[in-house]
Each structure stands twice: as C-alpha cells, then as structure tokens.
Structure 1
C-alpha cells in the first residue's frame, strides 16, 4: 500500500462524522478562538498560514456536510485529504459505534490505493464526567490507520489546538510505518533503516556508538551536540530498561533501537522521523529517489571520475572494513561492508577486473579501481551506493561532491593534453589474437596461471593504475568483442581515449583484421591508435596482407607495432604507452618519431645520434613539462 509522502508543502485535513457531533463547531472554534452561537451546516474551507502552525506548514481544513454533499463527493474529498479526523460525540454512544461500522470502513474503501492516516476525535467532553479513550484504544488495534485519538470540547476550547496539531503530525510524522501497536515494537522496515543508520554512524566499526560518535550523530540530525549530563542520562535510561543496550560505556544497536521505540511510545515520532529523513528515507521507509540520484547533467564529450573527496571516502571505507588490516577485504568483510546496501556493488568475478591478493581478495588498489570503473561507466549506480554507504552524512553537500565531471574531449584536443585521470582504451582484435589475455595481464595475470574458460564472457573490462610522467592515472581496458570485420562497431565501441589493435604474430591471417578495423573506423579519427604485436614469445610469421605490420604503421604514421607477451613476467610499458597516448592525444604523431628510430631502446631514452629524432624528443618533452607545470600550478592555486 502506498503512503502519501510527507515531503509536502501543505497539509489537508478533512473532518467527517455523523450529524450533530460538532465537526463545524470544532473548525470555527479553532479559527475564532470562541464557541460560535450560530453554526452553519458546513464551514468553508479554511487555510491556516505556515507561520502559525507548529510544523511551519500551511494547513487546509475541510468540513463535510451530509446535507450538502453526496457520497461520491465525500469519497473524492477523502482521496484528496492527507489526514482524516473522524469525529464522534462522547455523550452519544451511537456516534462512537458508527466510527467502526460506517466511517472507518468508508475511509478504507475510498482510500484503498493510498493509506490516509486517521485521528479519532471525541467532542463534547464538557457534557460528561467520563472518558471514551479505553474504548477507542480497542478500535486503534483493529484499524492500524488510526494514528491517535483525543477528546476535546468545541464549547470550552479544550484540546482544540492539540487536535489539529495531532492531525498535522499524523501526516508529517506517521506512526504506522514505524511502530506495530499490538506488538509494541518497531516495524521491520524501521528496524532495517535504523540498523543502516547505526552502521554508518559507527565510524570505528566496533558495534558500539561511543560518546564521540553519538555527538556526531546528534549534530548531524539535530544541529547540536548532546550535553554531557544529557548523554549520561540517556545511557542510564537504556541501561535500566535494556541491559544489552550498553557496552563499553557506549550504546549498542539493541540500545539504539530501544531508544527509538521509546521515542515513539512517548509520542515523539518526530525525533525518529528527523533521523530517518536525514538519512534519505521517505514515509514508506524507502530511500527517496532524490537522495539516491541527485540531478546532474553530463555534457556530450565529458566523462565522470572520482573527486578527491570521493577517493578519500572510498579509501576510508576500505580501511574501516579491513578489520584484520591485511590490506585486502575478505568475503566476510565485503559482506559486512555492503550489508546496508541492496546487494554488493560488484559480483563474485571481480578478480577478472581488478587486482587481488593471493587469496583472490580485493586489495585497496582493486577496491578503488572498482569505484573508478563504476563512476565512469554507471554514474547513477555509483551515486546510489555512495548514498547507501553514508557519504551524504560525511559531507554538507550530497554525493555529487564525490565525483567530478571532466572537461569536453574537444578542449583536451585543443590544449593538446587531457585533464582527465581516467582513460578508456578499447582493445580490438580477431579471435584467438590474445586480446582478452592482454587485458587480464594488465591486472597481473599471466597465461600460465589463467584458465582458458575464464577468458570468455563478462566482465569485458580491466582497470588498474599506471604512472604517466609521475602522476597516477587509471586506465580502463575494454575488450571489444567483434567476430568479423563485416560486423559493424557501435559508436560506443569506437569512441575512446586510445585504441589498441591486437594481432597474433604467429598467425599469418591475424593482422589483416586489425588493419581493416583501423582503416574502417580510426584512419580519419583523432583517436590515438597503438597496434600490439601479441604472443611475441612465439615465432613471428609473415602476415598475409598487402603490407607488413611495420610498413602499415609507417604508411599511416602510427607507432611501430609494440611487441607483447602475456607469458611469464608481464612488461607494463605497453600500458604506460597507451595511457600516455590518451593523456596527450595530439602528440601521438610525435611519439611516432620516437619509435621509428632504431636507436631508441624505450620511450624517452635516446641512444643514437640522429639530430632529427633528438629534436622531436625535446619538443615532446618540453610540451609535456609545460603541461605538468600548468597542472601543478593549478593544484597549488586550489590548495
């Protein structure tokens, strides 16, 4: 059943009941602060301004008259109402009986699609010397939609203001989602939400909220710390009523749940709701869409990355849940970390995407890389999980401060260098060229220790850290699965920061595929391309193509084919080269000058005496140094 959201700008109260119970008199007494001598059959709709209501919300009060309204119009009014006050006369037992035989069933019928809270109002207490509250309690057990009950008098003004306050409170701070009256306990949904909140606030992850954590929680939810004596009084109440609620002079989860149960039993629903809403929950105890998915626009040509704050939060999560401090998260630690989320952020095959330790447990580097990957490829999911894990409570802003939007790619090209920290490399090659193993070698896997079946199917990405001129960058290798050259590549499979075309040096038909892919998709693009001569540990054969790989690269002004083998010890220079080409997209032509000369053993180290190559190298190095200087200056300015 849907519950009307309390995150509203106004409250609409409808009064219903039998003729003569005093509905209209109650409204007029509230407004005029005196009992009306002449009472019309129906009061006009009245709006009470926000500044004179306890909850600072505009309130509309609507009357019902059987003489002027049909059953159909009454049902429409019930559907429009946020709360319904069912009024009976305490001196007329028949009107109380009709609360259960007529009015409450009618509310259920008219509001079957959306639960509307009900307040039972016993009017005319000035005429009797007894109370009907005990009888009303029995009604409340049979009809959970009844939030509260009150007896009042329109004539003496007794409890008139309180009645409308309870009505307003029933909308803004409903009891039903929080508390099961007959069990005198919190609902399962409320317990689940409060357990997540406790877990987030338990910063040292020891299962206890110490004084510092309690004060941080109090400041976050109520903008003020607990006074030392108040804090001790709270713990004393818990200790007296719930011995398991206190441990090591702090409050346990059991004690935390007890406190909120106590708040509700004492009519202080607003305390619990303030906490729940601070942590993103709506009236249905679901995390609100706005809380999970704050609005953000990503311009074309831009990508999303973790910001400095995002990196800090992710790193702190890892350290918090790495209980044994072994530098990796065990399956149990992973389950503990994501226990407040619908599911873990990644599946069990993460070892195929990021670095792990010898046990196959995710390392700190792998953990950060997973977040980097999700932030890049599925921003909505990343923002959602930042919210689940409590990022919003660690920052004054929402989780958008955990990410940054990069500048447009065209600006990177114009400035001849990229400002990004995460680069996408699409790895394309024919079947059996070893491109999947090439991707896996990026996270330290070798051919000898990788089972062939693991190379098939998802995931299609690996991500790791590389050093580009002393700066840490993240490179995402995406294995593009194309079976035939005739199979068209989708735009999303072509657009990347750098393309890596892989062929098998031992297969004479392998290079033709890579060559045709280049000519079809990349020859006219501004995307840097590196051709990788894979399986270099095997005997190289002549390729059955118009041009041999080195001649093809020379003709199209590409760097010479880079030799690579995933066997035994992996050489990471190819990944550094790919990341550097992505970081300096307009300089990849200059890189060609480096690699064309036989006198260069590796990038940036000149051993020959060719003046031409030496000048080209100096030009690239100078441009790079200027770029790095600009970056450092900008960072200095920001700090």
Structure 2
C-alpha cells in the first residue's frame, strides 16, 4: 500500500526575539536543561533538538537573538522589572546588528516574540517594533509568529486578553502563550506552539476576523467531501465517514464518537445533518470548529492525506507519481483502473440510462479543476443518439488518454479519488506493456490498445474514414461531423474473439516533399488512404510508403476511399494493386460512406496485433497461418489470465 502523508517540512527553525531582559535566553536554556539557569549568557548558542524528542517528530533548530540596541540604558525601567541573573547588559561581544536580525528572520520558519508579562513596555514593543520588523523582512511570504509572555510566576494576572486583540490585527500571529522560565511552566508548550505554527499554520485555513475558513481551504475540503461521498448522494453516511476516518487517521470512528459528532452538528448548524448523515455544510463546520479549538493539526492531517501541500494546492508528487516507460512500450488501463472508472461512471449515471448527460458529466468532474476532455466528444468516441458518452465510450476515452498522455490520466485519477478508494497510488490503475521489439521477437502481442496513423493527401476522406469508425448508422454522420474532426477516434474491434481498442489518428496532410515527424510515423499500424477517383491521389501515399515504411517493421494497409465512385487510373508508375504486390502488401481495401463495412478496421487491428507478419500480402491467402496467429493471441491472453490469478490468489502478499 502506498500512503500519501504530505509531510510539510523536514525541519523547523525557531527564532526568539524581544526586548532586553524579557528572558529569551533563559527560556531556551530552561527547555534544554529542564531547570532554571542561574548563570545566563548574553546569548544562547543555536541548538538543535532531535526529531525523536519533539512532539511532531521533526528536528528543530532554536536561535537566540541579542541586539545592539538592547543596552542597559534602553532596558525597561518599570518597578520590580526583574533582569535575568548575571547578564552583563553592557557587554556587547554577542550583540547582533539589525542587518543580522533581518537575515535571521528571513531564515527562520517561525518567530517567537517574547515579552515580559510584568512590563507593559515590552508588550507595547510587540506592535511598535517587532511585528513591523518581521513584516518588513518577510515581504514575499507571511512569516508565522507566536507571542510569548514570560515571567508569569511574578504576577497574579494575565495579559492574554490584550494579546488576543493583537492577534486580530495581525493575521500572521498564530498563537499566544504565557510561561515561566523559572518554574518551567508552559516551556515545552511554547516550543510546541512554535513548531505547530510552522507545521500546521492557521493562516492558510482560517480568517480570524471573519471567524470562517478561507476560500482555498473550503475549496479543498469540498473536493475531499465529494471524493468521500462514495454513493454520490451529497451526504456522508456512517460507512463513508468510517472510510474517511480510516483513510486520514488509520483508525475506525467509534460509534459513541460518531454520535457525539452528530449531536454537535445538530446543536450548532441547522443543516449539518440530513437523513442521519453529515452534509457538506456540516463537514465544513466541523473543520471550522477544529481550528477554533486550536486543533489545526486535525484539518491539516486530512488535507495532507488527500495530497494538499502548504499552499493548499494538490502537490505534483501526488498527482504525477514517477512512472518509467521503456522505449517501445505503451500505457494502458489496468483491470483495477477499468473497474474504478466503471464504478465512477455507474455512480454518476443517476438516471440509469447508460449514458452521462451534460449535467451528470459536469457533476462527475466537479472535484477536478476542469474536466479532462470536453462534453462534445462524439467525434472521438462512440456515444448514444444524443452525443452523450456511454460506458463503452467512457472507457474508450480513458484508454485513449492513457495511451497518448498517461500523466494526465494519473492526474485525473488522483482528482477523482483512486488513491482514496483503492488505498494505493494511481500507478496501480495503469499497465505498461512489453516493449515492441520483444513482442516481435516472441511473435506474441498482449496489448489491448493499438495506435493506427491514418495518412493521406488532402480531400482523401481521412476524416470521414475516422468518423465512420464510430458511427453505428452512417445516415447520422452529418456534413458538420465530416468537416470537423478531432485528432483521434477510438473504438473497439474483435480480433479473434478478443476485444481490442483501436485508435485512429488523423495525421495532417502536407505536401509530399514535407517530412513527417517521428511521432507521425511511429505507430502500431499505418493506414495509407487515397481517393480512388482522383488520378493524382495515390502518388502521395506511394511516396510516403517508400520513404517511411518500406524499411520499417510497421504493418501498412492501403485503403481506397470514396469507393462508391468510378475508379480512375492513377498517375503513377504502378497502379495500386501492382504497388501492393511489389512491396508484398495486402491488396488495397475499399471504403465508402454509403457502404461502411467495419472489416477494414478489423484488418487494421489484426495487423497491429501480429506485427511480425508485416508482409501480409504473402500470407493473406493462407487461412491456416491466420488461424495459428489467432490461436497464438488467444493463448497469450489465457496465460496472462492465469498469471494475474496466481498473483492475486488467496495466498498472495498484499
């Protein structure tokens, strides 16, 4: 199982600043030695706390600051103000300049501004000097701040109310705490809050003055809610909540806790519970409540388990796990990938008509930034009479995307929650095929998706040929459909009883002297089309074949289009049948819109399935050889089935 944790940082750097004599150095030394130091240096050396002794299991650097402005004459003069013992405030050897301070602020992940609860001047210094300085040195990012009131053992009152007003005016202030370096009261908590301000910051999640979640946080939580809504009813029932709990915290949600959560929602938000299930508004309210109670880490744990980084964006590592595709291999959907997409389709087909209406289509992809493909996809995949994708067309479109842009498939599988529902990386949803050279050597091909490049001169009806591959009824193929074609068309064909996906790529027509790019040549099978009624049409594909395919191992089929018209003699050295005979190709196949026979597409898929039989012209009349080839592909499929079954048997490791 591959679990995404999205750890925000590998270490935390804490800087302590504040007026002279507030106890910055004593706080650090008390934390390290667990006792109040009697001899306090002017400045503590930078210390590193190992990960295994910190609550968040993150190594932490703590940096002290001693500034040149902090002399005896500038020290607060409030009665009873206690100086740290044995500090010689006239010694400037350890003092730092404002430039050095600015550099330390930039390097720090969080700044703790320390003040003395017994000295109002040091409290005023927070807004008069320290917060403005932190802001000035952090222009490109908001640096989290923790306000620390030291020497609480000397007073019998609290400054928290005053500090809370500062927090309202300065969003970068994450939290505040009162402590005592002498009695060790809240010392560990102070540094925990500093760590927490870095690892689980409030600012990206919550707007203090509005007492509400940020829009970016809401957007992320809405997506998480939709992904966890397995049955698509807009609610999280007990099963879905438990699934969510296990995903985020690796533990079930106890029935008593679940009842308490529902009781809180019913008490605080009128529409938080419906049909004994949690609504979206209730889900958002819970996270708002977590943050208000100082449990930012709970919301951050959820966000990170669903792939979000510190900026509340889904990280690239989550969307695009590394995948290595050897040269000559291709990418297809695995069985698990297909099953996941089938379940998504069936869940989204709310009216059960076997197709996705535009509304159902948009709702399905509402958890994604944008749909991966347009709703107007009838020129690319099979659809129903309304032009809506059927389940068959849905799988066709995903198979096409996986073949030509596997990273996009991985990205959208992550958006749709494959990682969540399958509890594994979306790499489990794809299959990398064997290299083509190995297929040729073994004379076996176990691929399920083949790429066919359709190449021909202008007006040779390439677009019509590709569109006809999708049309069940050619009468429904309108002039607009023929004039406007997508780059690809994909459908399934039967190759000796095995269903295969065939992708037709319409390669743009050029002048015969213009070179084809390698990406326009390399494919599983090439279909060279010409207009049988145009005497100059065949020369184009003849030259293309000689230049690019005669010496390659790519099977080629020549197709004459507009076969319902009178055939013209071609202005070329050889007529099409003679050309095919010379180069040991199958004789030209003929195609017309009026008589759309699907056998030409089956021939293309068969040639792609058996690339070692490139010179089909020699074997096309030998039915025994074709029968053996078909038996070979069936055997390969059966062997593959038993291999998969062996790997996923009861005793297999998971």
Q: TM-score, normalised by structure 1?
A: 0.94
Would you say 1:310 and 2:337 are equivalent positions?
Answer: yes
Give how far 1:173 is off.
0.7
Note the C-alpha offset of 1:51: 1.3
Matching residue of 1:291: 318
Q: Measure how far apart 1:311 and its partner are.
A: 0.8
Residue 642 of structure 2: which of 631, 636, 639 is its match? Answer: 636
| CA positional deviation for 1:563 | 1.3
Q: What residue in structure 2 maps to residue 592 of structure 1? A: 617
Q: Is the 8 A contact 1:6 1:283 kept in 2?
A: no
Which position in structure 2 is the counterpart of 1:403? 430
Q: Equivalent residue for 1:603?
A: none
Would the aligned equivalents of 2:46 and 2:64 in 1 still touch at CA under 8 Å?
A: yes
Match 2:548 to one of 521, 543, 552: 521
Q: How do 1:513-592 and structure 2 match up within 5 A?
A: 513-567=540-594, 570-589=596-615, 591-592=616-617
Q: 1:335 and 1:161 mapped to 2: Cα distance?
A: 50
Please report how far the alpha carbon of residue 84 of structure 1 lies from its aligned counterpart in structure 2 after TM superposition. Answer: 0.8
TM-superposed deviation, 1:445: 6.5
1:478 corresponds to which of 505, 512, 517:
505
Deviation of 1:634 after TM superposition, in Å, equals 2.8
1:434-484 deviation line (CA, Å, top 9, x unaligned): 111000111116665444454456621101111111111111100011221
1:135 alignment partner in structure 2:
162
Q: Name the counterpart of 1:321.
A: 348
Q: Which residue of 2 aligns with 1:622?
A: 628
Three-state SS of the structure 2 residue aligned to 1:115 is: coil
Is residue 471–residue 477 contact of structure 2 (8 Å, CA) maintained in 1?
no
CA distance in 2, matches of 1:207, 1:586: 53
C-alpha contact (below 8 Å) 1:444/1:570 kept by paired residues: no
Conservation of the 8 A alpha-carbon contact between 1:245 and 1:252? yes
Q: Which residue of 2 aligns with 1:610?
A: none
CA distance in 1, matches of 2:174, 2:260: 29
Please say which of residues 626-635 and 411-420 is displaced more in the overlay: 626-635
Where structure 2 has 5 or more consecutive residues not aligned to the other structure, the ranges are 1-5, 69-94, 646-654
Deviations 1:219-252 (A, max 9, x none): 1111111111111111111111112010111101
Compute the displacement of 1:617 (Å): 2.3
Name 2:239's counterpart in structure 1: 212
CA distance in 1, matches of 2:425, 2:325: 17
- Equivalent-residue separation in structure 2 for 1:427 and 1:388 (angstroms): 33
Distance (whole Å) between structure 1 residues aligned to residue 32 and residue 548 of structure 2: 75
CA–CA distance in 2 between the matches of 1:109 and 1:464?
Answer: 61
Q: In structure 2, how many angstroms separate the alpha carbons of the residues matched to 1:554 and 1:331? A: 50
Which of 136, 155, 159 in structure 2 is aligned with 1:109? 136
**Does 2:43 correspond to 1:42?**
yes
Give 1:360-379 correspondences, 5 Å limit. 360-379=387-406
Instruction: Name the stretch that deviates more: 504-513 or 321-330.
Output: 504-513
Once residues 466 and 530 of structure 1 are traced to their aligned partners in structure 2, the CA distance between those partners, rounded to angstroms, is 17
Q: Which residue of 1 aligns with 2:175?
A: 148
User: Is the 8 Å Cα contact of residues 6 and 173 (structure 1) preserved in structure 2?
Assistant: no
- Residues of 2 paired with 1:545 and 1:120: CA distance? 87
Distance of 1:522 and 1:142 partners within structure 2 = 72
Aligned to 1:240: 267
Displacement of 1:621 after TM fit? 1.7
Q: Which structure 2 residues correspond to residues 44-443 of structure 1 after superposition, within 5 A?
A: 44-67=45-68, 68-443=95-470
> Conserved in 2, the CA contact under 8 Å of 1:530 and 1:559?
yes
Residue number in structure 2 paired with 1:9: 10
* Matched residue, 1:467: 494
Residue 342 (structure 1) shift: 1.2
The residue aligned with 2:88 is none
SS at match of 1:15: strand
Once the two structures are TM-superposed, the CA of residue 397 in structure 1 deviates from its matched residue by 2.3
Q: Which runs of 5+ in 1 are unaligned?
A: 596-612
Q: Distance in 2 between matches of 1:6 and 1:467?
A: 48
The SS at the match of 2:271 is helix
Distance 2:472 2:631 in 1: 34
Contact 1:437–1:447 (Cα < 8 Å) also in 2: no
Deviations 1:131-174 (A, max 9, x none): 11111111111110000001111111111111011111111111
Alpha-carbon RMSD across the aligned residues, in angstroms, is 1.5
User: Offset of 1:593 from its aligned partner?
Assistant: 4.1
3-state DSSP of counterpart to 1:543? coil
**What are the superposed Cα offsets for residues 162-206 of structure 1, whole Å, 9 maximum, x if unpaired?**
101111111111111111111111111111111100001000000
Deviation at 1:297, TM superposition (A): 1.6
TM-score (structure 2 length as normaliser): 0.92
Contact 2:376 2:387 in 1 (8 A): no
The answer to whether the 8 Å contact 1:6/1:171 transfers is no
Partner of 1:606: none
